[in-house]
Chain A
């Protein structure tokens, strides 16, 4: 689960304006502007927005997501799961790295194990159930699991499960990811200018013959939202991430530009610290939830472009979309407060100084004040935020997260499971029954039964207010008509290799 890597550097904006015209080639590269930096080229080393998008362009994974979101063969042509569900045998296709060397089963085992084991691995959770990864010959990988695990194939498609060259990484170490990394994906690195841009050029050895359908791309850092909009309007960018909500309609109305509001697995919610008073009391949490007018907050924050959240999970598979959610009921909130342990203490709402987080915090504070929950806002930078939240040094904080795959298992483990490392996104929410259901749902191979379990998890955690769900924000990416076929899937992956550039 990941978050904005907030681009702190303001300099990149000026630089990108200056350097918008690279050498004129036969076909100009596709220029994508984003506030999120590419800070490493090693798929294991980061779980931040910006890098997640980049990893998908440089490294192929065993499975891939088709345009419809279904899992398709990637580097693995076929797979076989043993009857007891614990051994997954994958057959690799004949594919080569960008340096021409073959992608072997040993590379696959190496790539997966370093995500699971390396001390610097940023996000080892998807491969925790992997007991053993073994190469059988050059083209067969045998993955043994600790127990049957339904989400496993999907987890092989997560952003950090890209296949890297064992020989190259062992030979060059960290340098393998700074200078001209050997890649397995549609692109290789033309040039990387940290804090400015990453220039991608097609990987001639990419296994999908005929892809990428373009001459390359530039991932350009443009931290300021209004600058990204201006650059889109003036044709300096072909696509831009995170158009501010206040400019969405303007872009949509503009000839030559589109802004489709693509579905995401993002959820905005309010964390409540359940490890100390007053939010250790379920009645105070329920009061805090009933006090918030989630539909109005969604409307005010996104100017009507997002749907209110009704459960504690984002729009992943098995999302209980018909669950009614927590209704806005200030009278009920007051009644619950009166029965609770809360005696009018002033609570701390921790606001991150990035984006419009303080706006969201001010809204929450105002609606809480209306029912008698007193609070003050403390605005801190993201670094401090990430120290204080895990340390439990807060009462409440509005934030967001996203799930890197469509299966809900990792989402539940991140945000709702009290015994899963992140202690329910550091709220300390801890319901043994939810934890048991989490494990049961992960092992359950029957889809209907899984759906039932996830529904109960969502119902329980929403009723008990593990967090207060606020809204589901789509991705507001803008595209120029100069390019065709570019989009972003809910897992933050661009369909860049499918993209064509219209006539110059």
Chain B
């Protein structure tokens, strides 16, 4: 990343633009680090060195070594492949499921709406994290099952959000016009209603990415995430926890990484909501 042309820009930036740029820069930086992890550190993240356990940060090991002598720096970088993916891809299943349900529910109204919204109420009645843990516990640990659990639990927020927007949109003139022209409901929903909900969906999804990322890391911490020895920030923190007093670096660096990526998502979301006038 070269210096951003912010300082030289004469024109007053719209409120929120800086946050978007800074936030996406952090996210992009992590995406690049994740994709190019082998370039930054040639070591194998799972290579064990029993003669170099619990080494503090040094020139050889920037972030020290863990309880199996593995290089923490390399593992943090490789873990980004899982965690960044988790944050970005993890919001997609609930977004797709939730937006579809919200759209149909809001547009159709009546009995369909009533049933769907009761379903939302039931899901909301359970704490998010408890339900995710329960589902992953039943399906078995792993990234795919985590995404399944997210889709099953996280869709409700998107459904409520989209439904609320649709209730307003469906009374607008352009919708009435489309109806008068005889377009089928599926076309009206897809072409005319859905695009108008995208801005709020986008804002919410970037906020949700933080939640998804941290929840995923928490599952890793609880042993329900990616299976060992694959590096993942939450699991690395859990691994380091017994040694936290003597070897703080095992927990600290993955924690810092998770925090910075989360911060990137929050900044972006904050900026987006300002720019999109919410």
Contacts and interface: CB of A to CB of B under 8 A. Distances in A.
Interface in A353-402: 353, 356, 358-359, 361-363, 365-366, 376-381
Given A246-B246, A356-B242, A363 B227 contact: no
B243 interface: yes
B48 interface: yes
A388 to B, nearest CB: 12
A143 interface: no
> Helix, strand, loop or mixed for chain A's interface?
helix
B251 to A, nearest CB: 12
B15 interface: no
Contacts, number: 59
A363 B48 contact: yes
B48 A226 contact: no
B67 interface: yes
Contacts of A351: 228
A381 B227 CA distance: 13
Given A363-B68, A379-B141, A300 B228 contact: no
Interface string A440-452: 0000000000000
A437 interface: no
A365 B46 CA distance: 11
A498 to B, nearest CB: 32
Contact of B50 (A246, A247, A250, A296): A296
Nearest to B241: A226
A244 interface: yes
A300 B50 contact: yes
Nearest to A356: B242
Interface in B129-181: 141
A178 B141 CA distance: 37
A378 B227 contact: yes
A376 B68 contact: no
Contacts of A303: 53
A23 B223 CA distance: 40
Given A351-B228, A376-B227, A244 B242 contact: yes
A129 to B, nearest CB: 41
B50 A361 contact: no
A359 B223 CA distance: 12
A378 B230 CA distance: 12
B229 A246 contact: no
B228 A358 contact: yes
Given A359-B239, A362-B48, A366-B46, A247 B245 contact: yes
A449 B187 CA distance: 89
B237 interface: no
Interface residues of B, number: 22
Contacts of A376: 227
B23 to A, nearest CB: 34
Q: Is the interface of B mostly helix, strand, loop or mixed?
A: loop
Given A225-B242, A244-B242, A379-B141, A300 B227 contact: no
A299 B47 CA distance: 17
B244 A366 contact: no
Given A300-B50, A359-B68, A365 B229 contact: yes
Contacts of A293: 50
Contacts of B244: 226
Interface in A94-110: none
Contacts of B241: 226
A247 B229 contact: no
B205 interface: no
Given A244-B242, A379-B223, A300 B229 contact: no
A244 B245 CA distance: 11
B229 A362 contact: yes
Given A359-B67, A363-B68, A366-B46, A379 B243 contact: no
B68 A353 contact: no
Given A351-B228, A377-B228, A300 B68 contact: yes
Nearest to B51: A296
Interface string B26-58: 000000000000000000001110100110000
A353 B227 CA distance: 11
Given A226-B244, A299-B50, A379 B67 contact: no
Contacts of A361: 228
A226 B240 CA distance: 12
Contacts of A226: 241-242, 244-245
Interface of A: 225-226, 229, 244, 246-247, 250, 293, 296, 299-300, 303, 351, 353, 356, 358-359, 361-363, 365-366, 376-381
30 contacts: A226-B241, A226-B242, A226-B245, A244-B242, A246-B54, A246-B242, A246-B245, A246-B247, A247-B246, A250-B246, A299-B50, A300-B67, A300-B68, A300-B69, A303-B53, A351-B228, A353-B223, A356-B242, A358-B223, A359-B68, A359-B239, A361-B228, A362-B46, A362-B48, A366-B46, A366-B48, A376-B227, A377-B228, A378-B141, A379-B228
Q: Which 9 A-B pairs have the closest CB atoms?
A: A353-B223, A362-B229, A300-B50, A358-B228, A366-B48, A296-B50, A379-B223, A377-B228, A244-B242
Given A300-B69, A379-B223, 12 more contacts: A226-B242, A246-B54, A247-B246, A293-B50, A300-B68, A351-B228, A359-B68, A359-B239, A361-B228, A362-B68, A366-B48, A377-B228
